[in-house]
Structure 1
Amino acid sequence: MSSPEHKQKIWKMIKDIKVGMLVTLDNEMPRARPMHLVQDEYDGTLWFYTRRSAEKVFETEDDHDVCISFSDQEHGVYVSMSGTANLSDNRELIDKYWNPFIAAWFPEGKDDPDVALLEIKVQMGEHWKAKESKVFQLYEIAKANLKKDTTPDLGENEKFGG
């Protein structure tokens, strides 16, 4: 998969974005919805609270393969991760990650039998990070258009896992 150092690099990219778009298959059609990260570190697994009665849970039971993407246009950071999703009743983690933000979405509290965690074990992904300002990126694009035999150097792009 990826080294501990690379996992830290990915965490540094996504930890402040917090909200990723989770893509599942709904009757063979891709469907995306926002999901809020709850963990405070990344070891190859992502955690999200969900209702066990949510459609995404049924979709991931039919097909465990999912994709989640994070985007921070202001800083030029884009991360896409693919893996497998499973419902988890891990009480220790439910207690650990519970906070006032999450509580607002679950008014019955963390002991509500409908509260669960969605665990995504990341298997592969790709990330992009712009190295310069938007003005520099526009310059690189213009330069590539003029030279015809070059592509713009907009920053870092790396695939991992898989």
Structure 2
Amino acid sequence: MPRTLPELSKKMRDIDFAMLISQTEGKAISGRPMSNNREVGFDGDAWFFADGSTRMVGDIANNPNVGLSYQGEAGFLGMRPLFIHVEGVAELLRDHAEFEKHWTKDLERWWPDGIDTPGLVLIRITGSRIHYWDGEDQGDIHLV
């Protein structure tokens, strides 16, 4: 039975970390955990803060096509884990007004200077397709 974006978004709130997958300049696949902050509703866009000097930010600047992978403890049926993969395009933002919209206090753990941290970047990932697995149920949601 196909799931809806609001149903998936509700489940994604319980998942603290996503793996952000990008391609390196040398065409290798690279992944790293990114905090979902448990306070962010997924509406087709995902938002993550990063240090602008990281390899990940350089990878995205070279090739904005990315993937996000989520694993929840229990799916809709409550039996097996829920797996979600989002295909999308990343955009690197350096706009303090956008920083303020997406900042949560928990982020100060990594950036004590908050939105005034030198080199801070906001990554906006606009999803185009979601594939999910919920036990034996699976499906796609096309966002674009």
What is the TM-score with the length of structure 2 in the denominator?
A: 0.83
Distance between the aligned counterparts of 2:107 and 2:40, measured in 1? 14
Task: Give 2:15's aligned amino acid.
Answer: I
**Please, which runs of 5 or more residues in structure 2 have no aligned partner?**
76-80
Distance between the aligned counterparts of 1:62 and 1:11, measured in 2? 29
Give the aligned partner of residue 117 of structure 1: 122
Asked if 2 retains the 8 angstrom alpha-carbon contact of 1:103 and 1:110, the reply is no
Give the aligned partner of residue 139 of structure 2: 158
Task: Give 2:114's aligned amino acid.
Answer: G
Structure-2 change in CA distance of 1:90 and 1:11 (3 Å): farther
Distance between the aligned counterparts of 1:57 and 1:47, measured in 2? 13
Distance between the aligned counterparts of 2:57 and 2:108, measured in 1? 20
**Runs of 4+ in structure 1 over 6 Å off:** none
RMSD after superposition: 1.9
Higher helix share: 1
Give the aligned partner of residue 70 of structure 1: 70
Which residues in structure 2 correspond to 1:75-86 (within 5 Å)?
Answer: 75=75, 76-86=81-91
Deviation at 1:87, TM superposition (A): 0.6
Task: Give 1:66's aligned amino acid.
Answer: V
Please, which moves more after superposition, 61-70 or 72-81? Answer: 72-81
1:98 to 77, 82, 103: 103
Deviation at 1:98, TM superposition (A): 2.2
Give the aligned partner of residue 13 of structure 2: 15
Task: Give 2:34's aligned amino acid.
Answer: M
Which residues in structure 2 correspond to 1:144-155 (within 5 Å)?
Answer: 154=136
**Please, which runs of 5 or more residues in structure 1 have no aligned partner?**
131-153
Task: Give 2:108's aligned amino acid.
Answer: A
Deviation at 1:55, TM superposition (A): 1.0
Deviation at 1:99, TM superposition (A): 2.7
Distance between the aligned counterparts of 2:94 and 2:7, measured in 1? 29
- Give the structure with higher Rg (CA): 1
Deviation at 1:10, TM superposition (A): 2.0
Distance between the aligned counterparts of 1:30 and 1:70, measured in 2? 17
Residue 60 of structure 1: SS of its match in structure 2? helix
Distance between the aligned counterparts of 2:74 and 2:140, measured in 1? 22
Residue 4 of structure 2: SS of its match in structure 1? helix
What is the TM-score with the length of structure 1 in the denominator?
A: 0.75
